[in-house]
């Protein structure tokens, strides 16, 4: 039966330990520590507010541009000149994805930084937040010896309208000098000039303006990271350019200048082909002009030598028949001449990386298309090389493709040349037949006609090239950029950062989390008994009562319970007295009650004396017996020296009346002190004289209160237990480790002490709000005593509240 009872008790303990903190317990813990939460929230909000005040305001600006698709036409100023064949050779189609990379290129941003002098910044100190003076600075520094790789800062303080103080140089903080505006001065960072920007210095007198000079590379990298380029839509050609900066005007200037630089770069890239074509046409015009002059000189010389006049009218009829052949022959010879020239141009190793002249008049559409495609691919390769190197895989692939296309063009020209020669040969044969028909025409006429034909060829070629030069010049004049600006840089004047409300909300959350985390950590690390709930959750030992802690007890004041006392401690001892009566039942003989504990300092002596006092106040005859022969706590607290229990147990005193001392606090309370400290306390307590003593005093008193030693420290309490009727196990809140409750449970199940019960000592009223106690009703109806009850309780340090 006992085994089954132990199993039931074990199940009850196991089930009870599963109970954790409820939501109400958590809320009560929070309410009990509201001051810590309030302090933490106030501190965190204050820190967040100061932090926000130190952060610069960040504004956002964005612009939208459309990347033009030249192949699809649309809005293009060059559409009105689409009848000019050379327009196709400079219209290189661009994609939004490719142009987005160009917008983000380091080279383009470096041009922007250099143009706007963004590597030099002006900041005015003021309060927690510095103020940027981009284009608002009354002073501008011009560096005579500017080094793009240098980095430094210094301060300028306007003294008057014409004088400033230079100081606090990063390279030499002790250097300072007053200079006049516009004067050239040598400083630790080089030669510079300070000028007024036109803004009056009146508002800036005695204020510190810090000049920050960054390396050009660092400034470029910074602004390149600050600018983001994205597609407006997946399939569209619109780009959105966004920048966040502390200065609105600077963000707008950077974005707008970036777009302008991009357009300039795109136009320059397109004009490269037109410039190469113009150079080729000019070279050919110079050569043909010289050849045409030579032909005119030949005609003039021939006619002078042969004294010829109008040979055309003389041979008119003969030439009528072969005029058609001559016209066709001229056209073929022109084609052959151009084809040979293009072939020589392609074969020249010096011009292998140059653009091939396009639209030179070759009648083969296949060759003209191949040359145009070759030129477009060459421009694309050059653009990639400008942002990377010749070892780029894409550049290598493009070089191979270009080489293949060049060879293909040369092969096509060779084939065309063979075809033209065959046709030319056929025309020449027909012309020879016609020439035989005019055999009567003088040989001089033939020679004149031959020279005239060469003259005509040169004239046609010369006029043709003049026409192409004008077309090319027109194309250069109307070359348009790839991007069309939809919206210039603009945005809201409301800063996007710092997000004050988010930071303050985060600070509020952190302010609540910090004390909650500290409390949770304290609860996690605190393994002591925190209240009655811990005892009931971990043991099945009967719980007798709770004794609140008395605040501000005088040193050595052991008596708390007094007649007429209305404080909470007195009421707790009265409840303890009532519970003891229920526990002992209707027994008429004296009740021997022993108090022990697990640890020293649990308050056994305090509880023993005040319990005895409480019983005495009820009219019971009570004897308080100090069996703590080692420390003699009760005797020391009562300043008792002389005869005591050890004298009787050792046989030196046989008369019990000599041991009993009348207590000064109440007539019904007697005390037997411990006596001198013996060398063998355990052996003395094993003596039968202790049994004789207890049997004797049972007949004289209603209650015998034994103040014993901690049961887990020495064996004295277990030895004394044989003469007791009830054992009160005193546990001090916040002192005993909860893990020791298992030992108390084993003692209870092993019946080591008779009628073992637990008394919780040192309980604070606040524990009710922590979810580990049940509170008290002491002081009910006592008026002012009830209002002062809280001040009579022990207020623990904040790390002991659990």
The string of DSSP letters for 200-238 reads -SGGGTT--EEEEE--HHHHHHHHHHHEEEEESSSS--E
User: In whole angstroms, what is the distance from residue 391 CA to residue 112 CA?
Assistant: 28
User: In whole angstroms, what is the distance from residue 376 CA to residue 94 CA?
Assistant: 11
DSSP element (H, E) containing 581: helix 568-584
Confidence of residue 301 (pLDDT cuts 50, 70, 90): confident
Confidence of residue 325 (pLDDT cuts 50, 70, 90): low
Q: Examine the pLDDT at 770 and tell me if it is beyond 80.
A: no
pLDDT (0 to 100) of residue 319 = 62
**324, 429 in Cβ contact below 8 A?**
no
Burial class (CB in 10 A: 0-12, 13-18, 19+), 424: middle
DSSP element (H, E) containing 743: helix 741-749
Q: Examine the pLDDT at 177 and tell me if it is beyond 60.
A: yes
Q: Examine the pLDDT at 587 and tell me if it is beyond 60.
A: no
pLDDT (0 to 100) of residue 321 = 59
Per CATH, domain 585-724 is 3.40.50.300: yes
Q: Which of 194-198, 219-223, 317-321, 751-755 has the lowest mean pLDDT?
A: 317-321
Q: Examine the pLDDT at 240 and tell me if it is beyond 50.
A: yes
The per-residue pLDDT for range 719-741, each reduced to its tens digit, is 888 999 899 999 998 888 888 89
pTM over 0.75: no
pLDDT (0 to 100) of residue 203 = 81
pLDDT (0 to 100) of residue 1 = 36
Q: Which of 81-85, 432-436, 455-459, 694-698 has the lowest mean pLDDT?
A: 81-85
Which distant-in-sequence residues (6+ apart) come within 8 Å of 631 by Cβ?
600, 709
Sign (positive or negative) of CA dihedral 198, 203, 206, 210: negative
What is the rounded average pLDDT of the residues 180-192?
89
pLDDT (0 to 100) of residue 292 = 75
- Token reading at 618: 């009820």
User: In whole angstroms, what is the distance from residue 295 CA to residue 458 CA?
Assistant: 9
The per-residue pLDDT for range 603-654, each reduced to its tens digit, is 888 898 899 888 998 888 999 998 988 888 888 887 777 788 888 888 888 8
Instruction: Please name the residue ranges forming H helices in 585-687.
Output: 604-617, 633-637, 645-649, 681-686
Q: Examine the pLDDT at 254 and tell me if it is beyond 90.
A: yes
- R_g of the chain, CA atoms, integer Å: 56
Spell out the domain ranges in the chain.
Answer: 585-724
- SS3 at position 659: coil
């Amino acid at each position: 039966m006992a085994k089954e009872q132990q199993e039931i008790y074990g199940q009850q303990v196991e089930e009870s330990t599963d109970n954790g903190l409820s939501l109400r317990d958590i809320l009560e813990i929070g309410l009990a520590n509201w001051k810590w939460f309030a302090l933490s929230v106030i501190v965190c909000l204050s820190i967040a507010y100061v932090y926000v005040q130190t952060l610069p305001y960040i504004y956002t600006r964005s612009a939208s541009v459309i990347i033009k698709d030249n192949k699809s036409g649309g809005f293009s100023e060059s559409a009105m000149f689409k009848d000019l064949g050379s327009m196709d050779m400079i219209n290189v189609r661009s994609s939004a994805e490719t142009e987005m990379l160009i917008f983000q290129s380091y080279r383009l941003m470096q041009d922007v930084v250099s143009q706007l002098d963004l590597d030099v910044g002006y900041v005015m100190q003021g309060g927690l937040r510095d103020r940027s003076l981009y284009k608002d600075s009354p002073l501008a520094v011009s560096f005579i010896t500017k080094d793009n790789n240098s980095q430094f800062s210094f301060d300028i303080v306007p003294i008057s309208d014409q004088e400033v103080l230079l100081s606090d140089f990063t390279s030499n903080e002790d250097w300072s000098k007053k200079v006049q505006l516009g004067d050239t001065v040598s400083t630790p960072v080089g030669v510079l000039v300070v000028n007024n920007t036109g803004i009056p210095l009146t508002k800036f007198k005695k204020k510190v303006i810090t000049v920050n000079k960054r390396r050009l590379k660092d400034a470029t990298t910074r602004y390149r990271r600050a600018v983001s380029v994205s597609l407006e839509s997946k399939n569209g050609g619109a780009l959105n350019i966004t920048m966040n900066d502390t200065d609105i005007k600077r963000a707008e200037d950077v974005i707008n200048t970036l777009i302008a630089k991009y357009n300039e770069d795109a136009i320059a890239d397109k004009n490269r082909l037109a410039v190469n074509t113009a150079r080729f046409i000019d070279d050919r015009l110079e050569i043909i002009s010289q050849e045409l002059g030579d032909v005119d000189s030949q005609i003039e010389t021939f006619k002078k030598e042969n004294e010829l006049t109008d040979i055309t009218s003389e041979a008119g009829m003969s030439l009528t028949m072969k005029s058609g052949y001559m016209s066709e022959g001229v056209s073929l010879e022109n084609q052959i001449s151009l084809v040979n020239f293009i072939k020589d141009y392609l074969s020249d190793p010096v011009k292998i990386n140059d653009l091939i002249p396009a639209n030179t008049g070759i009648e083969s559409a296949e060759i003209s298309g191949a040359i145009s495609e070759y030129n477009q691919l060459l421009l694309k390769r050059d653009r990639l090389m400008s942002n990377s190197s010749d070892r780029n895989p894409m550049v290598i692939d493009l070089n191979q493709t270009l080489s293949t296309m060049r060879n293909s063009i040369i092969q096509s020209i060779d084939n065309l040349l063979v075809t033209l020669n065959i046709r030319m040969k056929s025309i020449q044969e027909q012309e020879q037949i016609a020439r035989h028909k005019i055999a009567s025409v003088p040989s001089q006429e033939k020679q004149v006609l031959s020279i005239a034909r060469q003259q005509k060829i040169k004239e046609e070629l010369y006029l043709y090239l003049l026409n192409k030069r004008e077309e090319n010049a027109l194309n250069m004049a109307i070359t348009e950029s790839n991007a069309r600006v939809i919206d210039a840089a603009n945005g809201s004047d409301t800063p996007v950062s710092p997000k004050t409300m988010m930071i303050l909300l985060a600070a509020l959350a952190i302010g609540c989390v910090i004390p909650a985390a500290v409390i949770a950590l304290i609860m996690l690390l605190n393994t002591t008994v925190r209240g009655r709930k811990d005892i009931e959750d971990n043991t099945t030992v009967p719980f007798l009562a709770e004794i609140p802690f008395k605040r501000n007890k005088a040193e050595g004041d052991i008596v708390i319970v007094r007649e007429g006392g209305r404080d909470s401690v007195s009421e707790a001892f009265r409840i303890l007295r009532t519970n003891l009566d229920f526990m002992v039942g209707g027994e008429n003989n004296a009740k021997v009650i022993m108090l022990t504990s697990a640890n020293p300092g649990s308050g056994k002596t305090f509880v023993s004396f005040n319990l005895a006092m409480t019983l005495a106040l009820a009219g019971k005859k009570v004897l308080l017996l100090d069996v703590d022969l080692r420390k003699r706590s009760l005797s020391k607290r009562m300043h008792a020296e002389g005869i005591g229990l050890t004298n009787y147990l050792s046989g030196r005193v046989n008369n019990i009346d000599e041991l009993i001392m009348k207590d000064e606090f109440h007539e019904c309370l007697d005390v037997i002190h411990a006596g001198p400290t013996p060398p063998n306390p355990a052996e003395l307590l094993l003596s039968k004289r202790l049994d004789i003593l207890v049997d004797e005093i049972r007949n004289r008193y209603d209650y015998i209160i034994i103040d014993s030693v901690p049961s887990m420290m020495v064996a004295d309490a277990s030895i004394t237990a044989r003469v007791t009727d009830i054992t009160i196990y005193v546990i001090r809140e916040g002192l005993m480790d909860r893990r020791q409750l298992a030992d108390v449970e084993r003692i209870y199940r092993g019946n080591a002490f008779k009628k073992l019960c637990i008394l919780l000592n040192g309980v604070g009223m606040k524990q009710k709000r922590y979810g580990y106690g049940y509170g008290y009703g002491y002081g009910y109806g006592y008026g002012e005593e009830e209002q002062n009850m809280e001040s009579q309780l022990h207020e623990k340090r904040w790390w002991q509240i659990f």
